[in-house]
Amino acid sequence: MASVYRRGNDWLVGSPEQPFTRLRARVQVLLTTLLILTNVIGAGIVFGLTFLITPGEGPSRSYLTALAIAVPVYVVGAVVIGASTVTVSALRALRWALEEREPTDAERRTALRLPLRLTLMQSLLWFGGVIVFGTLAIVIQPGAAVSAFFAVGIAGVVVSAIAYLVTEFSLRPVAARALAGRSTTDRLGAGVQRRMIVFWSLGTGAPVLGLVVAAFIALTIDDPSVKRLSWVVAGLAVVILVFGLLVTVLNARAVVGPIKAVQAALTKVGEGNFDVEVRVDDGTELGLLQSGFNEMVQGLRERERIRDLFGRHVGQSVARAATVGDVELGGETRIVSVLMIDLIGSTTYAENRPPSEVVGMLNRFFEVVVEEVDRRNGLVNKFMGDAVLAIFGAPVDLDDHATAALASARVIAARLAAEMPEIGAGIGVSTGQAVAGNVGHSSRFEYTVIGDAVNAAARLTELAKDVEGRVLVSSASVSAASPEEKPLWAEHESVVLRGRDEPTDTFRLA
């Protein structure tokens, strides 16, 4: 199973894989807590701006008393109404999750737009606050009406921006569940650019506009106090700096989070680990980035699986050679060393044992051969029943191919005698010219080596079955071997191999 890279806040919002009942409770508690905190902050902004920008000597005692009663009552009422509305709206939008089924495109789109819907509800409640507190100011202290509308309006804009971001943050696991398994390239949520522009407008643009409004309010006063005007500017500047920064940071985290998850997973892919994926939990271009990364890694995993399977069939060196250029029919003349191994008495062995035991024996035999040939950069070219053909020096150049072939023959003979004494094998090695390349049809071909060196190795393998040590090699192989390898071989006899007119000098294990 692929490793899933998630955001670093899973400990807080939970994983989308958890049971939905637990996820719903966790999200509801987190969302309610954050929204209450956000609205309390908004109430504080209202009180602060009311003190700063109310004309004259500031808010009257009766107006402050009314605010002290009305603000908590309205905030509590708004939270209760908002929380119940949020719950009902969320449950209706996430019915597919409760039923544990795949959402339709419409249900998926509704789930991803849930933060926007909940924020619009929040904005409506603050708009109601603008009407309530503005009316209250008109009744009790008409001179404070403009400042009341302005203070509650500015607070509502800032709170709505923060509320959207905390709602989106809290609903990340829900978005991840809605987007699970989706590989389409169409965007389901608002774009990143549009979202950043909107939040700059709400978190910074609106409070700056407030400065302009405050200046106009100051101009309506016959004899404005420079000190009071300074407090107005200072108060709005604090709102801009603190809450503008808060909105920017939250928005930046929403953008950077998916990118960091993709970056971490990309690092693993760069290290050769394709068993990774990123949790898709965003309906914007960032979600497309997450989904696109997962599709890319899935393609890489599939390609790696095919290449591995291809390498198992034709050999890793042939597979690598095929992937770096165009593969076409044709060959080239090379000097290579050919190693051939053929089991002795395998037919009799198979007649007296069950098929599973025969297959197990062959697999152990092939395991020994493949390990030793691969260890010396050779190519196991063919499994021919109970025989194996290996090549050293093609398709990849190997400077000391004769030494590699002879060393492989020696070690394989020793391992077979020690690990598989119930069966014997003849081993032949020949070095010479051969044609190496792809033969067959343009729609189906294989890499192979044909020529005198291959034929000689096959003849030597048959003769080796009657030689002590059961390994017989050509003098050409020994002559081309390294000085360290040559003393390990002893002269045997000259034989005329089938298909040749001249005798061939042979060597056996010393």
- Per the CB < 8 A criterion, the answer to whether 51 and 68 are in contact is no
Q: Angle at Cα 135 formed by Cα 131 and Cα 137, nearest 5°? A: 125
Whether residue 198 is predicted with pLDDT greater than 70 in this model: the reply is no
Average pLDDT over residues 342-355: 85
Domain with residues 327-509, CATH architecture:
2-Layer Sandwich (3.30)
> What pLDDT score does 372 carry?
94
Give the number of residues written for the chain: 510
**CA dist., res. 458 & res. 437, Å (int):** 19
Greater confidence, 319 or 488? 488
Summarised one tens digit per residue, pLDDT across range 157-194 is: 777 777 777 777 777 777 777 776 555 445 555 566 66
Question: pTM for this one?
Answer: 0.51
Q: What is the pLDDT of residues 389-411, one digit of tens each?
A: 999 988 878 889 999 999 999 99
Stated as kind and residue range, the H or E segment containing 474 is strand 471-474
Average pLDDT over residues 301-311: 66
Average pLDDT over residues 145-162: 76
Question: How does pLDDT run across 2-47, given as a tens digit for each residue?
Answer: 555 555 455 555 565 667 677 767 777 777 777 777 777 777 777 7
Residue 358 DSSP symbol: H
Provide the residue type at 145 as one letter.
A
**pLDDT on residue 462:** 93
d(CA 290, CA 278): 6
Distance CA 237, CA 231 (A): 10
- pLDDT: which is higher, 366 or 204: 366
Return the minimum-mean-pLDDT range out of 109-118, 282-291, 336-345. Answer: 282-291
Per DSSP, the three-state class of 426 is: strand
Report the SS3 class of residue 437: strand
CB of 493 within 8 A of CB of 464? Answer: no
| Helix intervals (H) in 201-327 | 206-219, 226-238, 244-270, 285-314, 316-323
Q: What is the pLDDT of residue 387?
A: 92
Residue 502 has pLDDT above 80, yes or no: yes
Query: Mean pLDDT throughout 444-451?
Result: 78
Query: Which is more confident, 418 or 228?
Result: 418
Statement: residue 102 has pLDDT above 70: yes
In the predicted model, what is the mean pLDDT of the chain?
77
**Percentage of residues in the chain with pLDDT exceeding 90?**
20
Where do you find CATH 3.30.70.1230 in the chain? 327-509
Give 123 or 506, the one with higher predicted confidence. 506
> For 96-105, 179-188, 407-416, which range has the lowest pLDDT when averaged over its residues?
179-188
Question: Is residue 448 within a helix (H) or strand (E), and if so which, with residue range?
Answer: strand 444-450
pLDDT top residue among 476 and 383 = 476
For residues 320-331, average pLDDT: 54
Is there a contact between 50 and 144 (Cβ–Cβ < 8 Å)?
A: yes
Tens digit of pLDDT for each residue in 249-260? 777 777 777 888
pLDDT of 437 reads 79
Facing residues of 334 across strands? 434
Residue entry with tokens 């191919």: 401
Residue 309 banded pLDDT, cuts 50, 70, 90 = low
Question: Residues 197, 161: contact at Cβ < 8 Å?
Answer: no
- Give the torsion through C-alpha atoms of 92, 198, 42, 163, to 10 deg: 30
